[in-house]
Structure 1
Amino acid sequence: MTRLPRLESVAPEPLFMVGAVSQYLGAAVAVHLFDEMAPAGVALVRVLGAAVMIIVLRRSWQRRWQANDLAWAAAFGTALAAMNLSIYLAIDELPLGNAVAIEFTGPILVAAVGTRTLRSGAALLLAAGGVVVLAGVEADGTMRGVAFALLAGMFWAGYIVLGHRVARGPAAVDGLGLGMLAGAAAISGFGATEVGSALDSPVVLLLALATGLLSNVIPYWIDQLVMRRITQHRFALLQAMLPATAVLVGLAVLLQVPSTRELFGIALVIAAIVFGRSVKGPGGTAARAGVRATD
């Protein structure tokens, strides 16, 4: 199996940030797709394309698969695909900031369950405060959109929990590719009718594949590498950096200047990450002792 020792030497935080930037660059590409395809179609093509890329790059068919590994990978991939589908449906009904704020109930809940000390609790409160400030939670929006965003948050929590199980199992990144293939099958009933739009237009297909590469392959592959080295609690806390990353990508790529409120939110989230770095979550020692070389 191919190993990446250079990535093993990189600290989890900066490695995670590379994936976060890639994820939001992919979101910028996806904006153009919504004019050509319904959200469910974009989610399906994104997940399916990413699955094929990983399986081909990894030659996953050459691995000996155990039934247990296949089951965990399928559950993980289904949670991932359902998360992608749900947030796209939520964004179709709600302002982006509102939908993302509601979705963050998932990773924040995972972090809360993993909290065992006052220090980790304080870091969690800082992160949650930063997320709320950045998202600008408001009362407007339809109940349908709120329901989809809450559903996305639930699947996001499942992604974190199941992702750790797959990342630390023998399948690892191969499990990611196969899992996304299973996830694409799981959500195919929602977006299959839209796939023709991508196949009929080379430009739309290229944008869809670029979205899958930037938003799924790169960040979720990096997530697998990071999740093998840190606890669920610490990973969930790191994910609180995503709203801050979105603001920074918007500034660099879309020339969107953040407001004072947004800068305050970024400061809260960064403070939470720095404050929480020294926290030893449950199972932290065992997790570090069990780390293997990344694939």
Structure 2
Amino acid sequence: MQSPASPRPLTGVALVIGSCLSLPFGAAVAAQLFPVLGPWGVTSLRVAIAALLLLVIVRPRPLRWTRPQWIAVLLFGLSLAAMNGFFYAAIDRIPLGPAVAIEFLGPLVLAAVLTRRVSDAVWVGVAVLGMSLLFVDGVVGADPLDPLGVVFILIAAAFWAMYIRTSARVGASIPGSGGLAMGLAVAAVLLIPVGVPTVGTVVAAPHLLLLAAVTALLSSVIPYSFELAALRRLPQRVFGVLLSLEPAFATLAGWLVLGQSATPLRMLAIALVVAASAGTTLGIRRRREPDVFTAPIPLPD
């Protein structure tokens, strides 16, 4: 299914930037809960709260959905559960900035595969260089990267690419935010086994629930709503490159909230990813994309 081109593509750009701002600050808040609830426990609690909030606000009507719509939502929920769980498991072991930089390999590879213009490929290359510098900084800097943490973030990267594809399909086939609400509900159900052990801890310390709610808003409700709306206005390949802003904001959030330092090499990398995002944005302004949902993900029968 295809959607007509948006008359205001810069609105989509603004939505992606809002998501990039919200996500890393939510992750920084979540990291403070890891010593008590563990990364997978925080993931389960956060996704469950976000799903409950959206189900109450949106009130989706899934009984009216077709089989392909349900398949899209189930795959979307799987990508949400795995992407978030492995990301939190990774930032429990490696700094936030390098973690987001490595995870960006998922959407970056997706953008490179989908791109059809030389200018898009050039900006992808600039973003790759920025990601490489962030990775080098994490390897040779003062904080060496934990190997298991790197494995976790690479798994999260693969599911991030899956999230972009399934999110685009859900946004194209299900009007409004009903698909997002049910996708989060599916993710919450999948995460129940790792979330059960946190129940007793949260009951004994109710203030943890408040912190988890803040994390849910910053890391799930706001960014996923923004990204779903952005994918209705932007090509997936452009959306993928614009997400290169996220490592920059993750570095900022790690510095402000967690006290993680930003070296000169890391700042250079940030400048490169911002340049890639700005170049992509200018390219959108010069050309009105005829097709918002390019190369939709094939769904099983």
Same fold at TM > 0.5? yes
Q: Distance in 1 between matches of 2:145 and 2:268?
A: 25
Q: Distance in 1 between matches of 2:73 and 2:22?
A: 23
1:27 CA displacement: 1.9
Aligned to 2:113: 113
**CA RMSD of the aligned region, Å?**
2.7
Note the 1:24-39 alignment, pairs <5 A: 24-39=24-39
**Alpha carbons 1:51, 1:180 under 8 Å: kept:** yes
1:267 CA displacement: 1.6
- Matched to 2:274, the amino acid is I
- Matched to 1:146, the amino acid is V
**Alpha carbons 1:172, 1:224 under 8 Å: kept:** no
Note the 1:218-237 alignment, pairs <5 A: 218-237=222-241
Q: Distance in 2 between matches of 1:240 and 1:65?
A: 34
Q: Give the 3 Å change call, closer, same or farther, for CA 64–235 of structure 1 in structure 2.
A: same
Q: Does 1:194 find its partner at 2:194?
A: no
1:269 CA displacement: 1.1
Q: What's the CA shift string for 1:95-136, capped at 9, x where partnerless? A: 434433332221111011012232111100111212232352
Q: Give the 3 Å change call, closer, same or farther, for CA 10–284 of structure 1 in structure 2.
A: closer
Note the 1:145-224 alignment, pairs <5 A: 145-224=149-228
| Larger displacement relative to structure 2 (173-182 or 125-134) | 125-134
Q: What's the CA shift string for 1:229-252, capped at 9, x where partnerless? A: 111101110111101122344566
Residue segments in structure 2 that go unaligned for 5+ positions in a row: 1-7, 294-301
TM-score by length of 2: 0.84
Q: Distance in 2 between matches of 1:200 and 1:60?
A: 33
Aligned to 1:285: 290
Aligned with residue 245 of structure 1, among 217, 242, 249: 249
Q: Give the 3 Å change call, closer, same or farther, for CA 49–91 of structure 1 in structure 2.
A: same
1:62 CA displacement: 8.0
1:40 CA displacement: 0.6
Q: Distance in 1 between matches of 2:147 and 2:261?
A: 31
**Alpha carbons 2:97, 2:254 under 8 Å: kept:** no
Q: Distance in 2 between matches of 1:156 and 1:265?
A: 21
Q: Does 1:271 find its partner at 2:275?
A: yes
Q: Distance in 1 between matches of 2:260 and 2:204?
A: 33
Q: What's the CA shift string for 1:68-101, capped at 9, x where partnerless? A: 2222112102101210001111223334344333
1:279 CA displacement: 5.8
Q: Give the 3 Å change call, closer, same or farther, for CA 62–159 of structure 1 in structure 2.
A: closer
- Matched to 1:208, the amino acid is A
Q: Does 1:104 find its partner at 2:104?
A: yes
1:24 CA displacement: 2.2
Q: What's the CA shift string for 1:32-65, capped at 9, x where partnerless? A: 2112101110000111110111111112248733
Q: What's the CA shift string for 1:151-209, capped at 9, x where partnerless? A: 10110010011111011112441111101110111222233222332233210011111
Q: Does 1:19 find its partner at 2:19?
A: yes
Q: Distance in 2 between matches of 1:11 and 1:59?
A: 26
Q: Does 1:74 find its partner at 2:74?
A: yes
